[in-house]
């Protein structure tokens, strides 16, 4: 688990990523749990909450569109 977190942290802090603040914010949160007792819990929660992205039907639905998860969150969209 730790190696995966470290690889993700390295990716999020890489200079090649756009400087829009999103990667830095994610890296900050991840940096807080690296090496802590909460790392396993954080990984489980992250995995559970992103699992829908690996569904092939969902990928087919999102790929050809201009859907923005960021916009959905900011505007309070509901999937229900």
Please list, in sequence order, all residues whose beta carbon lies within 8 angstroms of the beta carbon of residue 23, skipping any fewer than 6 positions away.
12, 13, 17
Q: What is the pLDDT of residues 53-66, one digit of tens each?
A: 888 888 887 777 77
64 falls within a domain: no
Higher pLDDT pick, 49 / 2: 49
Domain presence at residue 79: no
The domain in which residue 39 lies consists of 2-53
Residue 30 lies in a domain: yes
| Each residue's pLDDT tens digit, 7-28 | 888 888 888 887 788 888 888 8
Residue 67 covered by a domain: no
Residue 4: partners with Cβ closer than 8 Å, 6 or more residues away: 43
Number of domains comprising the chain: 1
């Amino acid at each position: 688990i730790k190696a995966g977190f470290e690889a993700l942290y390295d990716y999020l802090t890489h200079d090649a990523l756009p400087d829009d603040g999103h990667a830095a914010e994610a890296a900050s949160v991840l940096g807080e749990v690296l090496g802590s007792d909460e790392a396993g819990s954080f990984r489980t929660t992250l995995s559970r909450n992103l699992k829908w992205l690996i569904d092939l039907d969902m990928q087919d639905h999102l790929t050809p569109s201009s859907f923005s998860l960021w916009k959905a969150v900011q505007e309070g969209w509901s999937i229900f």
